[in-house]
Amino acid sequence: MGNSIHWIDIVIVIASVVFTIGVGIYFANRQKSSKHYFAGSGNIPAWAIGISIFATLISSVTFLAYPAAAYKSNWILLVQGLMVPIVLIGVIWIIVPLFRKVIRLSTYEYFERRFGVFARMYSSVAFILTHFSKMGTVLYLVSLAIASLTGLPVTTFIILLSIAIILLTLLGGIEAVIWMDVIQGFLLIGGGLLCVGILLFGSPNGAGYMLTEAVSMKKIDFGPYNFSLAQLTFWVMVINGAFYALQKYGTDQTIVQRYLTAKTDKDAKKAAYIGVLTSVPVWALFMLIGALLFVFYNTGGAVLPEGMKADQVFPYFIGTQLPVGAVGLVLSALVAAAISSLDSDMNCLAAIGVEDFYQRFKPNCTDKQRLNMGRWLVFLSGVAMTGVALLYAAWDGEGVLGVVFELYAIFSAGIVGIFLLGLLSRRANWQGLYIGIGVCIAFTTYAVLTTTDINDKLILDLGKYNFPHHKYMLGVYSHLIVLIVGYIASLFFKSEKVNEELTIYGYFGKNNPDSYRGKNKE
């Protein structure tokens, strides 16, 4: 688009980035141990951890892709988010004390204690692949949006933002990440509300007209509602959302690590609820922006340049319709969305690297060595993230908005199935799980090869035997395969005694009802 923004807006954005680096420097002197670096001081309040969870979930993908999705279609992608509180209200009170009791730092320590070393390595690598691919995508998206408004090369912003994010995370550890997330979370909400306010009340027809038109044009809608798993329908997103909720809050290091920073189990559960209940309205807020943008540009309010794509509309609106100063605040919110997601990813990738790999291969390492290795891994993950974003820029980002969902489904690799198998069954064993994982890998390979296009041609075309359902169902099936096949296969092997603390039965144990209350009593 190549719009030039006012120098005041540029100063606001630069100031927000410099402030981010300053937060990292402020917390740098407190990072004396690996525990503090990865799990905090133990003095972070529950509300701050909750806002940090929310800010981690609301990345630039939400800021840009959700308005684009609503502009192009409707609110169907929000169904996934709506499933999160429905699923988690019932399981958070079990999941949180489970992890606070049985792991030291890595989420995937639970998988090893339940099923052995391979289960931990498999789950850890799946997490690394998922977040590694996501980080480059998020960085590219936010850099592209800012570049389109300034006319400067996208590579300039990729490099500048990378430096700020790396310094914040490298210097300040998880404590700086959480407190920066709090600031960025409120900035993100403010930016979204500002845009909605301008769209609603800046229209000459009034807010009522804008909302009525959005509904009548079916932009505020969750359909299609027919029960089909082959198309993107309401029911596909309901099913996908249930597993998304379990994967994010039950097996994702970026969220589970937050549980460990709380003072008590009660505070950790409160933080989880705050994170969930804050995320859904904000997801809806950005869907509303997309719906209102469609009304604004399709009912005579304004005209878009010919040939403009859906994912370019929101940045164009920011650059052409917002007053001086407001542009800078919204762009700062966009930058904040990226930073609050990426700093969490980098710290958690480093935690996994130290806990699951470095510690294993160097069991006698000192805490200082663990801390130094953690910092090196933060730096290396930041460099790798920058490299992926630069590759996107070189390829002009073709299809980049769909990358996150596709890679998430592929690399999730049945992790929720492993978690549920270990949590719900005392009979499941490592032999059965490994068979389940083997079947899952075979299925995932088949499904990906028969649904992924290269130059509009399937990688493997089996005709009527191609994977018949929507790609969002791929991840769902992988979890179910591990759960069902893993359990059935376990029946063919000798049953082993399982520590009930690692299962749901430990929580409901009649003989010792308080044994499962975690490291800290409520």
Q: Tens of pLDDT along 214-250?
A: 999 999 999 899 999 999 999 999 999 999 889 888 8
Residue 427 placed within a domain = no
Q: Which of 29-43, 321-335, 449-463 has the lowest mean pLDDT?
A: 449-463
- Residue 39 identity (one-letter amino acid): A
Q: Give residue 391's pLDDT band: very low, low, confident or very high (50, 70, 90).
A: confident
Flag whether 494 is in a domain: no
Lowest mean pLDDT among 72-86, 386-400, 468-482: 386-400
- Mean pLDDT over residues 418-425, rounded? 93
pLDDT at 456 over 90: no
Predicted local confidence at residue 517, as pLDDT: 41
What is the distance between the alpha carbons of residues 289 and 24, in angstroms, rounded to a whole number?
Answer: 32
Kindly state whether residue 374 falls inside one of the protein's structural domains.
yes
443 assigned to some structural domain? no
Q: What is the pLDDT of residue 455?
A: 55
pLDDT for 419? 94
Categorize the per-residue pLDDT at 491 as very low, low, confident or very high, splitting at 50, 70 and 90: very high
Give a yes or no: residue 408 inside a domain. Answer: no
Residues 433-449 as b/e (b if ≥16 CB within 10 A, e otherwise) read bbbbbebbbebbeebbe
Q: Which residue has the higher pLDDT, 481 or 411?
A: 481
- CATH number for the domain spanning 11: value is 1.20.1730.10
In the chain, % helix, strand, coil (3-state, to 5) comes to: 75, 0, 25
Report how many domains make up the chain. 1
State yes or no: pLDDT of 410 exceeds 90. Answer: no
Query: Is 230 a member of any domain?
Result: yes
pLDDT above 50 for 38: yes
pLDDT above 90 covers what percent of the chain? 41
In a domain, 47, yes or no: yes
Residues of 130-164 as b/e, b for ≥16 C-beta within 10 angstroms?
bbbbbbbbbbbbbbbbbbbbbeeebeebbebbbeb
- Name the residue range of residue 394's domain: 7-28+41-398
Would you give the DSSP letter of residue 467?
A: -
Give the CA radius of gyration of the chain: 23
Q: What is the pLDDT of residue 522?
A: 38
Q: d(Cα 494, Cα 444) in Å, to the nearest integer?
A: 29
Model confidence at 512: pLDDT above 50? no
| DSSP 8-state code for residue 104 | S
pTM (2 d.p.) = 0.86
Q: Is 457 helix (H, G, I), strand (E, B) or coil?
A: strand
According to the model, what pLDDT value does residue 33 have?
Answer: 86
**Inside any domain, residue 450:** no
